[in-house]
Structure formats: C-alpha cells, structure tokens
Amino acid sequence: MRKITRREFIVRTAGLAAACEIGRRLGMAGATAAETWPAVVVGRGTNADTAAAILKTALDGLGGIGRFVKPGQTVVIKPNATWAYPPGTASSTDPDLLRALIQMVREAGAKRIIVVDRSTLWPTAEALQISGLGKVLDETGVEKIIPEGYLAPAQLCTMVEFPKARVPEFRKIPILKAAVEADVRINMAVAKSHLVTKYTMCLKHMMGFMQQPNALHVQLEQGIADINTESAVRPHLHILEAIRVRLPVGAARQAGGEENEIANPRRVKRLNEIVVGTDPVLIDAYGCINYFSIKPQELTHVKFAAEAGVGEIDVEKAIAAGRLQTFIVGRATPTPTATSTPTATRMAPATATRTSTPGPSPTPTRAPTNTPLPTPEPYNAPAAATRSHPKAEAEAPAPGNLADPTPFFGVALIPAAAVVAGASIVMRQRLGHQAPRPAEAPSAPSESEEDADAGETDGR
C-alpha cells in the first residue's frame, strides 16, 4: 500500500473538507490540518448513540472517510458475514454499522463499492438473510462477492505474494481478486471470542480475503501474522466493532452463537465502541486490554504480528505519543484514553477517567461491566428482549421461513398469463366463428374450462 504523506493529504483534502463533516470539523479545522493524524482512534458512545454516530465520531478523529476514499475509486468493504445468527449477537457485523459505512463511502464519492467476505460455515444466502446484512446489501445496491464453502471458485481469486511471511507455504496464496484489484480496502471486524486463537479482532479477520481460509489453520497464529504483512491485499483502513463484544465463558469460545446481550449477558456485552485506524496491531492490542483484559502479548497472533513488523503493540506508548486517541460522541476534542491494567481488574474496560458527555441528550455513564445493561428488566423477560432488540426480534426470521414467498409468486404469474393468453387466443377464434350459430352454447363453457384449468395450476 502506498502511504499518503501529510503534505499530499493536505493538498488533496483541501477541496474535500467541506463535503465530509461540517459542524464539528469547522471548529478544529485549523488544528487538524497542522497536526499528524493518529494511527488509531477509538470512538465511544452510549446505548443511546447509533452505530453510525459512533463510527462517524471515530472516523472524524482519524481525518474523515475522505482521507481514505477519493472520488472515483473502487472500494472493497469486508464485513463479517460468516455467521447465520441475528443482529445483536455479536456474531456478524452489525447491519446498521455496515449501512452507515456504505453511505459514508458513497458520499465520499466512491465509484464502485464491493462487499467481500467468505461464508464458510453457512450458505451465503442464509447467512446474509439471518444476520440482516443481505437486506443492507440489497437496499444500498452495492456489489457483493461472498463465495460460500471452504474453497472459493478459482476464477474469483488471484495469487498474492506475501514476501515477509515466515511460513513458506503462505508466501504465495490465492486471495479474492476483487479485493486485490480495489483501490481501497476496508476491513471491518467484530471483537469476539474465538475457539482457536481465543480472541479474534482485525488481524484474524483478514482470513476472510483468502480463497481457502481453513488452510491457514495449519499454523494459525503465525499464518494470521503472515497474511497481515506487506502485500497487495493489505487494507487501508481497519474498523473494529465493539458495539457488542462476545466474551469467552470457560470452554465456550465459539465466535458466533444465538446468545445476545439480554439472554446471556456473560457472553455478549454491550460496550458501544468502534476502533478505527491504519494499524491493526495497535487496534488489536487496545482491544486485548480494554475488551478482554489480557496483555496483548498473551494473544499469540498479535505478538507474532508485532514481531513481523505489522504494527505497534505497546498501547501505553502509543497513547503517550498521541497515536491512539479516544473521541466520545458529541465531543470535538479527544478524551484521555485510559487502559485498564489487565491484572488489576479482570473484565473491566476503561471507565476510570470517563467524563460525562455533552451529547444531545444527557446520556448516563456506562454501567460497570458486571451489569452490562442499564435496563432494569430481568434479562430473560421477553418484553425486555423485544424492547431492547426490536431489530433482532423482528428481522430474525423463523427457520424455514427464509424468504417471503409472496413476491416470488408474482413472477410466476408471467407464465400463467402465457397459458391464459394462449388458451384465450384459441378459444376466441372458435367463439368468434361460431358466434352467430346456435351451436355456440356448447362451446362457451370450454373457455372457462381452459381458464379454470390454468388458474388451478397457477394457484398451486
């Protein structure tokens, strides 16, 4: 990937400054133009903030989407569309977040937007349908390349070299062609537990660009580090979604499941954060500390990636140098980033220096993570579930009712109309010629018979 120098950036964004971000940016326009953008920005909100608002806050801290996407470019977005579980379970990317990103990229002037993923565990149609992402893709009208199964068709792929990879087998592997050929690649991962690596964030999410993701499992941790090294598929922007975070409970470390924050608050926690940046290692390191309360070095693939020179693993140093900043929704200036020390309080993300936010509505400070939601209702009450997750309840279809058949019957009316039209052509000729004759009577019901027959068949 080609790095953009500060000078180039200033020149290029001069004309775009008005388009991306008006209200908040105006106040700090003079300041931002003169300083270095941070490598990683944390956007933080509350339960009242939409995913779009948090994403916008975070991206604005990083210089806006216009810093990455220029008009006329082809943009590849790689969400997590692997799991067929409803929204709100922290299994796949939040549909609202994907919609917000697609809209931002489109407003930045992208010519083509292609959503790319590998749906390995489920049929693509089913995963898209249940996770709610398919609706977003259809409504926004973006292209999608989501091959299913563990081996994508070869014509969709191209060989990509990873010269710095340590495992020899991974120095040249097939990658989805659309991602390689795009101008901009955006990698949007979900912070989740994972069976093998224990946690998965931006680094591991890169596996979804591969033709055969399970091939990496042969040496998974080193392989993850390897595919993040310098290559033609390296993303320009990483987005880590921590609106909801899936936590491991004992041996249950599946990266997807039916649980949501209501039914199983120990597994799915609502944190309302989105981390964006250009350094996936720093993002993952921040995530290790703040979401999973482990040292980044404990997560082997993050450590390997840092050793391979993919990015910076020392979060404290990055914060001190201003390379990692935190923005809160509704506030123009960065908030001091706090990281909890892993040994001090397990499972306690940074809440110590949390300041109240002067947002549009007075939002409560985040509750301690032991009680993850400020909802007073009992967790398993169906009423609470419906209220807090109207989307999850409404959009998750019952199994067996994957698609509404009603619009599809409409298409079947075309051949049915052909049947009726053909029958009426034949019958009209007979009626027309026999109309003046008294023998018309026995002929008349014949048309209705033909039509009734056609109607019967069409109704089935």
Partner 1 sequence: MLAKPMAAEQQRRRGRLDRAGRRSVQLGFLLLFLYPLILTAYQRTTARAAPSFTSWLLPWDPLLLAGHLVHRNWGALVIAAPLLLLAFTLLLGRFFCGWVCPIGTVLDLVRPLAFWRRRKPRPPRAIPADRSGKPGRPPGVRLFDRRTNSRLRYFVLIAVLAAGIFSLQALGLLDPLVIFQRTATALASNAFALRMPALRTFFSLISLLFLAILLLELWQPRFWCRNLCPLGALISVFARFSLLNRRVSDACTLCGECQHVCAMNAIPRREPHDTDYTACTFCLECESACPNGGISFGFGTLAHKRWQRAARNGQMGRGPQRQGSYVAKPTGFGHQIGRRELIGGVTAGMAGVALLPALRLTRGRALLRPPGALPEEEFVRTCILCQECVRVCPTGGLKPTALEGGPAAIGTPHLVPRVGACTRNPSCPHLCAQVCPVAAIRPIAADQVRIGRAVVEHDLCLAWDQQVKCLVCVEACLVEAAQVYNGRIIVDPTRCTGCGRCENACPVAGSAIHVKPFAELT
Residues within the interface to partner 1 (CB under 8 A): 84, 120-126, 128-130, 134, 138, 144, 146, 148-150, 195-196, 212, 214-220, 254-255, 399-405, 408, 411-412, 414-426, 429-430, 433-434, 437, 439, 442-443, 445-446, 449, 453-454, 456-458, 460
Backbone CA torsion sign across 134, 135, 138, 140: negative
Is the distance from CB of 81 to CB of 119 less than 8 angstroms?
A: yes
Of 22 and 425, CB closest to partner 1: 425
CB of residue 214 to partner 1, shortest distance in Å: 4
In the complex, what is the shortest distance from the CB of residue 190 to partner 1, in angstroms, rounded to a whole number?
15
Closest contact distance (angstroms) between CB of 438 and partner 1 is 9
Please provide the size of the chain in residues: 460
Closest separation in Å from C-beta 158 to partner 1: 20
Nearest to 90, CA basis, from 326, 294, 257: 257
How far is Cα 366 from Cα 356, in angstroms, rounded to an integer?
10
What residues contact residue 459 under an 8 Å CB cut-off, 6+ apart?
Answer: none
Q: Which is nearer to partner 1, 86 or 287 (CB)?
A: 86
Alpha-carbon gap, residue 456 to 443, rounded angstroms: 21
Cβ distance to partner 1 smaller for residue 391 or 430:
430
CB of 132 to partner 1, least distance (A): 12
> Phi and psi of 130, rounded to 5°?
-75, -35
Residue (29 or 417) nearer to partner 1, CB? 417
Nearest approach, Cβ of residue 84 and partner 1 (Å): 6
Task: Tell me whether residue 124 or residue 337 sits nearer to partner 1 (CB atom).
Answer: 124
Q: How far is CA 31 from CA 16, 26, 142, 329, in A?
A: 17, 10, 36, 19
Cβ neighbors of 430 (< 8 A, separation 6 or more) are 443, 446
- Answer whether 63's CB lies under 8 Å from 332's CB: no
Cα separation, 389 vs 381, in Å, equals 12
* Chain position carrying tokens 């075309």: 414
Closest CB to partner 1 among residues 376, 399: 399
Nearer to partner 1, 70 or 166 (CB): 166
* Nearest-approach distance from CB 206 to partner 1, in angstroms: 17
State the CB neighbour count (10 A cutoff) for residue 448.
11
C-beta of 127 vs 274, nearer to partner 1: 127
- Burial category of 47 from C-beta neighbours within 10 Å (exposed 0-12, middle 13-18, buried 19 and up): middle
* Nearest-approach distance from CB 399 to partner 1, in angstroms: 5
Distances (CA, A) of 42 to 195, 277, 420: 26, 9, 63
